[in-house]
Amino acid sequence: MAMKTINVNLADRSYPVFIDSGTLSRPEVIGPYIAGDEVFVVTNDTVAPLYLSFCRQLFRSFRTETLVLPDGERYKTLDTAGQIFSALIAHCYSRQCTLVALGGGVIGDLTGFAAACYQRGVPFIQIPTTLLAQVDSSVGGKTGVNHPQGKNMIGAFWQPRCVVIDINTLNTLPDRELRAGLAEVVKYGLIRDPEFFAWLENNAPALLRRDPQALAYAIERSCLNKAQVVAADERESGQRALLNLGHTFGHAIETGLGYGTWLHGEAVAAGTCLAAAMSRRLGWLDQDEVDRVTTLFSRLGLPVNAPALGVDNYIGIMSVDKKVRAGKIRLVLLAEIGRAVVTDEYDTTVLREVLRSAKE
């Protein structure tokens, strides 16, 4: 396949997203986006044995140091970010350094957050190695860490210099992680791209068996959708909030169960099913449309039933979500497949009924 390039248009902060097979072996792709002559690679102990050697070759003409962190959502904390700062300072890295995130969403968020803070801001590059990171978290500049009381409550908007997606990294991705990434892919079809949703319904088996052309198309279409939304609303003052379909419920699941018990994409899938069920109770969706949502997630091997955390527990966690305004929990709901809305104008009794249905 020929390399695809999608541009995230943000004036002087614009950057390309490169999608291809074998980009980790092509220094000419990433080289022009390194600022200065210092590179600092952040990865984890799962990805490092697989791809760190490729990175060292990519950056062999630069002064390069690496930090290998433990793998897992539970390490997405201020303490872990502090390890990055300590390593940068110990190696005397200047403001002209470039941080590189090699890994999934946790590494991308941690590295981007560190880049936003170190010496009040240094460049960084995303090399996402999971499907979820490739189609969502690596694009758009959201960085941050979790707090025990809420996911992603501490962070910054900090755009990368570029995003380099090597589809070959998905060859080593566990099946569970692949399925979790597909939850974010489905999201784009639900919020703004009904034709893509229909394509996903027809191509679910190809995606699960890792057909290269199907994966490449799904990644490209997802990144294009994400880039268009981010370009129109970089700091989530309007339509970018639609990208949080299923996330208010999903973040409550992750927080309530303990970070890492469910993968992010698994929680988003179940959370999206709750959002669809609530949309149905409000009279916005037909039952046939709800069934299409749950059927697709089920076919992709993702949970469609949320865990029974308790209604009050759910609402308590959701009440510290970043989308809360004036004490009201704003939700992303579906007006139809391909059109989502952000609203706090709903009967809270309906919300409690939907949460009471959680039974996993």
Give catalytic status of residue 251 as yes or no: yes
pLDDT of residue 276: 98
| Six-digit token string for 149 | 């009381």
Taking the domains of the chain in order of start, what are their residue ranges? Answer: 4-172, 175-356
Name the β-bridge partners of 97.
38
Q: Binning pLDDT at 50, 70 and 90, where does residue 325 land?
A: confident
Q: The dihedral of CA 18, 20, 24, 27: what is its sign?
A: negative
Cα–Cα distance for residue pair 180/73, rounded to 1 Å: 14
Give me the catalytic one of 247, 280, 292, 330: 247
Give catalytic status of residue 120 as yes or no: yes
3-state secondary structure at position 134: helix
Give me the catalytic one of 76, 179, 251, 280: 251
Give me the catalytic one of 236, 254, 292, 323: 236
Average pLDDT over residues 321-331: 81
Cα–Cα distance for residue pair 152/143, rounded to 1 Å: 8
CA 74 → CA 193, 214, 242, 308, distances in Å?
A: 33, 32, 26, 21
Give catalytic status of residue 56 as yes or no: no
Cβ 248 vs Cβ 329: under 8 Å: yes
Tell me what the pLDDT averaged over the chain comes to.
Answer: 95
- For residue 155, pLDDT beyond 90: yes
Give catalytic status of residue 240 as yes or no: yes
- For residue 51, pLDDT beyond 90: yes
| Six-digit token string for 121 | 């801001």
pLDDT tens figures, 335-349: 999 999 999 999 999
pLDDT tens figures, 242-283: 999 999 999 999 999 999 999 999 999 999 999 999 999 999
Average pLDDT over residues 189-207: 98
73: number of Cβ within 10 Å: 20
Residue 115 identity (one-letter amino acid) = A
Cβ 182 vs Cβ 211: under 8 Å: no
Average pLDDT over residues 305-323: 91
Give me the catalytic one of 38, 73, 177, 184: 184
Give catalytic status of residue 184 as yes or no: yes
Give the right CATH number for 4-172 from 3.40.640.10, 3.30.360.10, 2.40.10.480, 3.40.50.1970. 3.40.50.1970
Average pLDDT over residues 184-191: 98
Q: Binning pLDDT at 50, 70 and 90, where does residue 320 land?
A: confident
pTM of the model: 0.94
Q: What share of the chain is helix, strand, coil (3-state, %, to 5)?
A: 50, 20, 30
Q: Binning pLDDT at 50, 70 and 90, where does residue 360 land?
A: low
Q: Binning pLDDT at 50, 70 and 90, where does residue 237 land?
A: confident
Q: What are phi and psi of 329, to 5 degrees?
A: -80, 115
pLDDT tens figures, 69-85: 999 999 999 999 999 99
Mutual orientation of helices 264-281 and 348-356 as an angle, nearest 10°?
130
Give me the catalytic one of 179, 187, 221, 226: 226
**CATH 1.10.1660.10, applies to 175-356:** no
Please provide the DSSP assignment of 138-198 as one string. TSS-EEEEEETTEEEEEEEE---S-EEEEGGGGGGS-HHHHHHHHHHHHHHHHHH-HHHHH
Give catalytic status of residue 264 as yes or no: yes
- For residue 323, pLDDT beyond 90: no
- For residue 231, pLDDT beyond 90: yes
pLDDT of residue 351: 96
Mutual orientation of helices 175-192 and 287-299 as an angle, nearest 10°?
160
Give percent above pLDDT 70 in the chain: 99
